[in-house]
Chains A and B, each alone.
Chain A
Amino acid sequence: DGGITQSPKYLFRKEGQNVTLSCEQNLNHDAMYWYRQDPGQGLRLIYYSQIVNDFQKGDIAEGYSVSREKKESFPLTVTSAQKNPTAFYLCASNYGATRYGYTFGSGTRLTVV
């Protein structure tokens, strides 16, 4: 079955560490997205990529970095520059036509310890 897979499900980070969240899709989707979700808030866009080797900053890109070397993969690195990284991170993908919505992964919960 086609889908979008995020790993790990839970991640713990010490202060000052960089961590990388994985996102892989086998839906043959062109576009991929990373969102951050905090309690009581909507989804906030971190980065998105429309094609391989190209990506754009979203509303809250500071302290994060991404790469898009393969169509299927869009990893997100949470760097030590992100001062409040504890959150639920969601990866999504689609064919590039936003009006048809996204397919989401099941998320990664990142906690700073």
Chain B
Amino acid sequence: GQQLNQSPQSMFIQEGEDVSMNCTSSSIFNTWLWYKQEPGEGPVLLIALYKAGELTSNGRLTAQFGITRKDSFLNISASIPSDVGIYFCAGQLRFISMDSNYQLIWGAGTKLIIKP
């Protein structure tokens, strides 16, 4: 099936550092979504992107919809301990069949860990 390549797989950072992660695909998407999952919980939507080139912020988080429509990145500025968790990208393909109309394609996640 379709895949999203999300990187890095994990990040060890110091508190206060900026963080950057991205998702890429060989397919064209019309929607990019970024979620955060804390241990033992379900993912929570952080940012949604709908247009190529769109740059959207949510507090210290900023995400962009790539111009080629095949990628997206998420930045976190001045990280704090509560930023730890797994960040997932998800996208809806631009060209969809009836079977895939209600499905999202998911990245494997980026695990963010704060160094003590």
Residues of B within 8 A of A (CB): 1, 4, 6, 9, 30-31, 33, 35, 40-45, 48, 50, 88, 90, 92, 99, 101-104, 106-109
Interface residues of A (CB under 8 A from B): 6, 9, 31, 33, 40-45, 48, 50, 56, 58-59, 90, 92, 96, 98-107, 109
Contact of A98 among B41, B101, B108 (CB under 8 A): B101
A1 to B45 CA separation, bound complex (whole angstroms): 18
- A residues within 8 A CB of B9? 40
Interface contact B103-A45, CB-CB below 8 Å: yes
Residue pair A59, B48 in contact (C-beta under 8 Å)? no
Inside 8 A of A31's CB, which chain B residues have their CB? 102
In whole angstroms, what is the CA distance A48 to B31 when docked? 20
Chain B residues with CB under 8 A of A100: 48
Nearest B residue (CB) for A105: B42
Residues of B close to A107: CB separation below 8 A? 40-42
Query: Is A101 in contact with B48, judged by CB distance below 8 angstroms?
Result: yes
A-B contacts, 8 of them at CB < 8 A, read A31-B102, A42-B4, A42-B108, A45-B103, A50-B102, A98-B92, A98-B103, A101-B45
B38 to chain A, nearest CB (A): 10
Q: Which of A33, A43, A58, A99 contacts B88 (CB 8 A)?
A: A43
